C-alpha cells in the first residue's frame, strides 16, 4: 500500500483554529451589537439619553404608565398646546402633583434649563 498518507486532509494547527474561532466570535459580537439597540448609543436622541441617565426611569417609561404617566400620554395630552414647553419644564424643575393623579413628582433642581428643554422637546416629539 503506497498511498497510505492522507492526501485530502486539511491539517490545521491549533493556532489556526484559535484564529478562526476568534474571528467567528468577533463577527458574532458585531452582529449582536447591531441587534441590541442600546449597544449602538449613537442614534439615541439626546433627550432620551438624559431620561435614561437621570432618575426619570424610576417612575416613567416611554409607552406605559409606571409611577408617573407614560411620556407618550404626556405628548398626547399636551399636543398643540402653546404653553406645553413652559408647563412641563416647570413641572420637571419644581415637581408637580394633581394633573395625572394624587402621586407627586419630586422636583429636579439640579437639572440645567438646557437639559430640561432637551427632555421636554423629546417627550413632546413622542408618538
Chain residues binding ligand HEC by CB under 6 A are: 54-56, 58-60, 67-69, 74, 87-88, 91-92, 96-101, 103, 105-106, 108, 111, 119, 123
Spatial distance between the Cα atoms of 88 and 25, rounded to a whole number of angstroms: 47
Distance separating alpha carbons of residues 107 and 86, to the nearest angstrom: 15
Which residue's CB is nearer to ligand HEC, number 28 or number 97? 97
**Nearest distance from residue 16's CB to ligand HEC, in Å?**
53
Q: Which residues pair with 53 in a beta bridge?
A: none
Report, in Å, the least distance between residue 58 CB and ligand HEC: 5
Cβ-based nearer residue to ligand HEC, 25 or 103 = 103
Alpha-carbon span 64 to 72, nearest angstrom: 8
Q: How far is the CB of 122 from ligand HEC (least distance, A)?
A: 9
3-state helix, strand, coil in the chain (%, to 5): 55, 0, 40
What values do phi and psi take at 105, rounded to 5?
-95, 130
Q: Which is nearer to ligand HEC, 3 or 98 (CB)?
A: 98
Amino acid at each position: 500500500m503506497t498511498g497510505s498518507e492522507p492526501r485530502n486532509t486539511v491539517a490545521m494547527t491549533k493556532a489556526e483554529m484559535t484564529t478562526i474561532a476568534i474571528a467567528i466570535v468577533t463577527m458574532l459580537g458585531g452582529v449582536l451589537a447591531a441587534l441590541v439597540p442600546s449597544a449602538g448609543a449613537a442614534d439615541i436622541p439626546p433627550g432620551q439619553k438624559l431620561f435614561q441617565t437621570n432618575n426619570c426611569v424610576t417612575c416613567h417609561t416611554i409607552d406605559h404608565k409606571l409611577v408617573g404617566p407614560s411620556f407618550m400620554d404626556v405628548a398626547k395630552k399636551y399636543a398643540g398646546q402653546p404653553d406645553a414647553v413652559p408647563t412641563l419644564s416647570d413641572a420637571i424643575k419644581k415637581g408637580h402633583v394633581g394633573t395625572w393623579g394624587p402621586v407627586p413628582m419630586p422636583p429636579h433642581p439640579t437639572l440645567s434649563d438646557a437639559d430640561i428643554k432637551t427632555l421636554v422637546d423629546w417627550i413632546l416629539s413622542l408618538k
